[in-house]
Amino acid sequence: MQELLQQVVSGIATGGIFASLALALVLIYNAMGLVNFAQGEMAMLATFVALALIDHGMNYWIAFPVTLVIAFAGGIAIERVVIRPVERAPILTLVIVTLGLATLINGLAGFIFGYVPRAFPSPFPVQTVNILGALASYQDLGVIAVSAVVLLAIYLLLQHTTVGLTMRAAAHHPEASRLLGVRVSWMLALGWGLASAVGSVSGIMVAPILLLQPNMMQTIIIYAFAAAVLGGIESPIGAVVGGVIVGVTVNLAGVYLPFVGGDLQLAVALAIIVGVLVLKPNGLFGRPSVRRV
């Protein structure tokens, strides 16, 4: 019982990692109906930028917002240069472009920063708190708390600000929005900038836990896919809930399903993706969509 509880608590902590990246995926999806395969790699690159700033003597709490701004600008720049020329192309084209972007950024980071893992500072101590006998560290709780703050910010942005509403409108009804004078293309760029910034928060939060190196997000992105799909890919709250469920499921499946064991954690994520998509494509919090013809 004690172990089960600890597995659940630890799973929630790991789920926080998945959730934070899944939130960035959800933002892009809301902005343009696309899953960005390069989201994890962009987050990794932003984290390296943050580390470079800190290594040059910048205070952590200054480096953090500076990185956010750089990531935001970088996201917009990437959208303008790489996505804009193909923004009305079929989904296959867009997917291939983001996949190319992922490959490119990963190789570039390896080339620039090398592959030796690096320590990344964390604002939260690793001291633990006791929750009904299960232990959780402030660091893990911090990741979840920050994810919650980001979630709240995204929710307020999308639901209660003009910018957010315009962004969603531009994604769902580009033609109508254009007629109303919305600069649809810049809305996409804004979406990329915001997602990139949210991704960089994720990178900065998880780097102390995972170790910063170019391949840091390579498998995490799959777990984040699972989280986003499970939650319903357009729902920010779904991303967080999905992340936590994936984290806990992966932990429990590894321990209590002998045929899974510790080796097939990623396969559990794949099973979640396929299972949800086949059985309940809108996930837990997504709204059913009408198939456009």
From the list 39, 67, 213, 235, which residue makes contact with another protein (rule: CB under 8 A)? 213
Ranges within 87-106 binding another protein (CB under 8 A): 89-93, 95-97, 99-106
- Residue closer to another protein by CB (options 182, 218) is 218
Q: Tell me if 85 contacts another protein by CB under 8 A.
A: yes
Please, what is the angle between helix 220-231 and helix 236-256, to 10°?
Answer: 120
Closest to another protein by CB, 65 or 85: 85
Is the alpha carbon torsion for 231, 234, 240, 243 positive or negative? positive
Task: Tell me, residue by residue from 112 to 141, as one string, x for binding to another protein by CB under 8 A and - for no binding.
Answer: --xxxxxx-xx--xx-x------xxx-xx-
Query: Sign (positive/negative) of CA torsion 213, 18, 7, 131?
Result: positive
Q: Which of 132, 179, 278, 290 lies at the binding interface for another protein (CB under 8 A)? A: 278
Least distance from C-beta 67 to another protein, angstroms? 19
* Binding residue count for another protein, defined by CB under 8 A: 88
Site for another protein in 169-188 (CB under 8 A): none
Site string for another protein, 36-75 (x = CB under 8 A): -x--------------------------------------
Q: Compare residues 186 and 218 and give the one whose CB is closer to another protein.
A: 218
- Within 10 A of 186 (CB to CB), how many other CB atoms are there? 16
Closest contact distance (angstroms) between CB of 190 and another protein is 21
By C-beta, is 185 or 219 nearer to another protein? 219
Q: Does 195 bind another protein (CB under 8 A)?
A: no
Q: Residue 281 Cβ, how far from another protein at the closest point, in Å?
A: 7
> With contact defined as beta carbons under 8 Å apart, do 48 and 188 qualify?
no
Based on the shown chain and the rule CB under 8 A, indicate whether residue 239 belongs to the binding site for another protein.
no
We find the least distance from the C-beta atom of residue 180 to another protein, in angstroms, to be 27
Which phi and psi angles does 44 have, rounded to 5°? -60, -45
Closest to 46 in 3D by CA, of 192, 157, 199, 183? 199
CB 21, min distance to another protein, A = 11
At residue 128, the 3 state secondary structure works out as strand
State the residue for tokens 């080339």: 111
* Least gap, CB of 156 to another protein (angstroms): 27
In whole angstroms, what is the distance from residue 30 CA to residue 155 CA?
Answer: 12
Q: Where are the alpha helices (DSSP H) in the chain?
A: 2-32, 39-55, 60-78, 91-113, 138-160, 162-172, 174-179, 184-210, 220-231, 236-256, 265-279
CB 157 within 8 A of CB 163: yes
Of the pair 72, 225, the CB lying nearest another protein is at 225
| Cα–Cα distance for residue pair 230/30, rounded to 1 Å | 16
In the complex, minimum distance from the CB of residue 179 to another protein, in angstroms, rounded to a whole number:
25
Cα dihedral 203/199/239/106 (nearest 10): -70
| Window of 12-20, 161-169, 170-178, 186-194 that interacts with another protein by CB under 8 A | 12-20
